[in-house]
Amino acid sequence: MSRPKLLDLFCCAGGAAMGYYRAGFDVVGVDIKPQPRYPFQFVQGDALEYVAKHGHEFDAIHASPPCQGYSRMRHVTGKKYPLMIDEVRAVLRATGKPYVIENVEDAPLIDDVLLCGTMFGLKTFRHRKFETSFFLLAPPHATHTVYGKAAKQGRPVTEERQYLTVTGNFSGIANGKRAMGIEWMSRAELSQAIPPAYTEYIGRHLMEVLS
């Protein structure tokens, strides 16, 4: 029996892709930059152009458009970044396929759910929001607190010898991989990644929608 196909737009190094694969999908990733460690079939190119031409070939679509323009750090850097969520949503809706859009907490997503590593037993607080074209509830979100100067500065904090990431920062690549549940990425890739546990959870719900 063939697996349903999922298109992974703005795929980076494949954190989201791995979760969907574990949920039962065959995944194809598209990104404008080379992604030599992407674990599945990869196409280098413009994500929106690709979905316009090939979106009909897939059963579902995930998109992680650039988040820098919505990140709280934009107020610190003062740089201008592309704001693509509205355009991405329009293109995905035009395909008629079930879709997921992922981004940071301040992004203007619609009827989104927030996922956190604590929901899946991970040693990370990496909050990400997900807009879905299908009904989705988030798992229970345990209260988590970090203490001290390091937490205020957005640096990683260790509590009871458990490694926890507060933002994209982490100390030690091995700690970061363990916290995120990711083994194949470089430090730079890991700092931007989605833990696969997030999209495995979403993917299992998406499987039910498709069936």
What is the residue-level pLDDT of the chain in tens, covering all 211 positions? 789 999 999 999 999 999 999 999 999 999 999 999 999 999 999 999 999 999 999 999 999 999 887 776 554 556 777 789 999 999 999 999 999 999 999 999 999 999 999 899 888 888 999 999 999 999 999 877 654 444 445 555 444 334 445 455 566 788 888 889 999 999 889 988 999 999 999 999 999 999 9
Q: Are 64 and 12 in contact (CB under 8 A)?
A: yes
Kindly report the CATH number assigned to the domain that includes residue 140: 3.40.50.150
Torsion on CA atoms 89, 91, 96, 9, rounded to nearest 10: -80
Instruction: State how far the Cα of 6 lies from the Cα of 64, in Å rounded to an integer.
Output: 13
Q: Are 2 and 205 in contact (CB under 8 A)?
A: no
Instruction: State how far the Cα of 201 lies from the Cα of 180, in Å rounded to an integer.
Output: 15
Q: Are 202 and 130 in contact (CB under 8 A)?
A: yes
Q: Find the domain containing 170 and state its range.
A: 5-210
> What is the b/e burial string over 5-35, where b = at least 16 CB atoms within 10 angstroms of the residue's CB?
ebbbbbbbbbbbbbbbbebebebbbbbeeeb
Q: How many domains does the chain have?
A: 1
Instruction: State how far the Cα of 99 lies from the Cα of 1, in Å rounded to an integer.
Output: 23
Q: Are 78 and 120 in contact (CB under 8 A)?
A: no
